[in-house]
Structure 1
Amino acid sequence: MTTSTAATDTVVPTPAHVSRLPLAERLPEFHRAMLRLEAATAKDIDPTLYHLIKLRASQINRCAFCIDMHSKDALAGGESVERIVQLSAWEESGHVYTERELAALALTEAVTVLTDGSVPDEVYARAAAHFEEVELARVIAAIVTINAWNRIGVTTRMAPGHYAPRPA
């Protein structure tokens, strides 16, 4: 991780625990828009499913800040340690998740990775079989929103470890 200094035009290492750019401070309108997007996305979606989606996408994207945040939120929301620990190997640990959760996790993985530039028909069909259209739209919105947050966190190298969930 590096930053460029204008005076010397040299590269100076930035410690991993220091954010590269306080984006929320530099672009408060953008940050408020992201918070509104988050609020709209979180509305009327099953909180357990929402936490799994957010945490899995964050694992794939290697966003340490979001992994820290969403694992803490999931635990505070009543999620089990076992299901959080097994999430990175959800396909091999399918017995600890519901069929709906497995379908949502498969869709999360496909949308987040976009391996072949598309979401495979069988992955989409599996999710569509478990969710009504409005529910499926909420799942897709959750996946898209957390991927946006992950890109902010990874790019600005937001430091994990300082987040505490709000009391319910």
Structure 2
Amino acid sequence: MSHDERLSVQQVDEAAYKPMYQMEKYIHSGVLDEGLLGIVKIRASQINGCAFCLDMHAREARSAGIDQRKLDVLAGWREAPDLYTERERAALALTESVTLIGQDGVPDDVWRTASSTFDDQELVTALMAISAINVWNRLAIATRQSLPDA
């Protein structure tokens, strides 16, 4: 089976990415730290199976100071609660629920934990970050976006 890139959205219509870039600018405005955003993006990308985004965001997370051990264990974060902060655990649970929203929605306990851990502005930013990475994952997977050279 060939895994050639099917389409470059950016080459066909660069303007198509403009709203996404604006959303990313909003997400990275400083309300949530880059490390937290990194693990959110990685966890959603793990669930969605997006190699392009996993590669990109793992590099970004390491640059933001996230410990390699946290990245190595991220898919099993619930089994290593002492490795992740309360904010990270709340963000990861919310990320999983929103990413898999068709299964159970966002359960009340996940929402309660997230809303008691983050203020309203942080919660809005977290939801936008989770939504954005899910869009990026879908675009990259649908088009078979190629990994950049190492």
TM-score, reference length from structure 1: 0.84
More displaced stretch, 153-162 vs 100-109:
153-162
Match of 1:128 in 2: 115
2:60 counterpart of 1:69: no
Match of 2:71 in 1: 84
CA positional deviation for 1:160: 2.0
Cα distance in 1 for partners of 2:105, 2:14 equals 33
CA positional deviation for 1:58: 0.5
Between 1 and 2, higher relative CO (CA 8 Å, sep ≥ 6) is seen in 2
Letter in 2 for 1:42: H
**Paired residues, what number?**
149
2:146 counterpart of 1:162: no
Match of 1:111 in 2: 98
More displaced stretch, 95-104 vs 37-46:
37-46
Once the two structures are superposed, the pairs formed by residues 12-161 of structure 1 within 5 Å of their partners are 15-16=2-3, 18-44=4-30, 45-161=32-148
Deviations 1:53-102 (A, max 9, x none): 00100000000000000001111111111000000111111111001110
Letter in 1 for 2:140: G
CA positional deviation for 1:161: 4.3
Cα distance in 1 for partners of 2:135, 2:63 equals 23
Give the root-mean-square deviation of aligned CA atoms: 1.3
CA positional deviation for 1:117: 5.0
8 Å contact kept, 2:97–2:104:
no
Cα distance in 2 for partners of 1:87, 1:161 equals 23
CA positional deviation for 1:114: 1.2
Q: Which structure 2 segments of 5+ residues have no match?
A: none
TM-score, reference length from structure 2: 0.94
Cα distance in 1 for partners of 2:140, 2:20 equals 13
Deviations 1:114-135 (A, max 9, x none): 1435211110111011001101
Letter in 2 for 1:75: R
Deviations 1:16-57 (A, max 9, x none): 2x3110011112111122111111111122111100100100
Higher helix content, 1 or 2:
2
Q: Which structure 1 segments of 5+ residues have no match?
A: 1-12, 164-168
